[in-house]
Amino acid sequence: MLDLFLSAFITLFVVIDPPGCAPIYAGLVQGANNRQMVAMASRACLIATLILVVFALFGENLLGALHIELNSFRVAGGIMLFVIALDMVFEKRTQRREERAEKVRAEHAGTPEVEDVSVFPMAMPMIAGPGSIATIMLLTARAQGTQQTLVVLGALGAVMALTFLSLAAAGPLMKLLGKRVEAVITRLLGVLLAALAAQYVIDGIKAVSSAVATAVTAG
């Protein structure tokens, strides 16, 4: 169970990337006081958690309704995560997040009050984006039984708690780390995510190959 928890925790941590979300959030909430920053951070994490839990528990049923096999989703999800990993290594993901944040700031530049960014863009797509949704669905699909599913959800809860802490302390955290340290951390996490994504693709291809071999043998 500990191995499953660590595997799920590391995968979700890399995909959600709490240290990477902190500078984006700090830029979006410029002018807000500490109370407003903490309130928006808590709302963003709560909404993102609810979205991910829904996909974790009912995502497989959704795939079934769309007539998509789980192994196909494993391969597609692995490829998607690999693309995200490449973006992290070459800093494209951070650039896109900053551009999205800048767009939101520009749209609300004329408003005197602090804009609530907890739902958009923080909860979705920053935290609960396509990558994290695909990841939580893959992890729960691999879990066997209720106990392992709860372990995966526990890992999600731990990552979301760290995400909240990163957002709530975004200002001081950015002063402590700086952009260079953040860039190094992002690239290291990207390399790790690439390896995990490759494993998802390999698992999916193995399962498909095994199913085909069984069908051929039976025929």
pTM of the predicted model as reported, rounded to 2 decimal places: 0.74
The Cα 14–Cα 79 span in angstroms is: 15
What is the reported pLDDT for 98?
A: 65
Average pLDDT, the chain: 83
What is the reported pLDDT for 114?
A: 62
What is the reported pLDDT for 112?
A: 47
pLDDT by residue, tens only, the chain of 219 residues: 899 999 999 999 988 989 878 877 887 787 788 888 899 999 999 999 999 999 999 988 888 888 888 788 778 878 887 887 888 788 776 666 667 667 766 665 555 456 788 998 889 878 998 789 989 999 998 898 999 999 999 999 999 999 999 999 887 776 676 667 767 777 887 787 788 788 878 988 888 888 888 877 876
What is the reported pLDDT for 163?
A: 96
The Cα 7–Cα 131 span in angstroms is: 16
Contact status, residue 207 vs residue 55, Cβ threshold 8 Å: no
* Alpha helix segments (H runs only) across 66-129: 70-89, 92-107
What is the reported pLDDT for 182?
A: 67
At residue 85, what is the residue type?
A
Q: Is the preceding peptide bond at 125 cis, omega within 30 degrees of 0?
A: yes
The Cα 47–Cα 188 span in angstroms is: 28
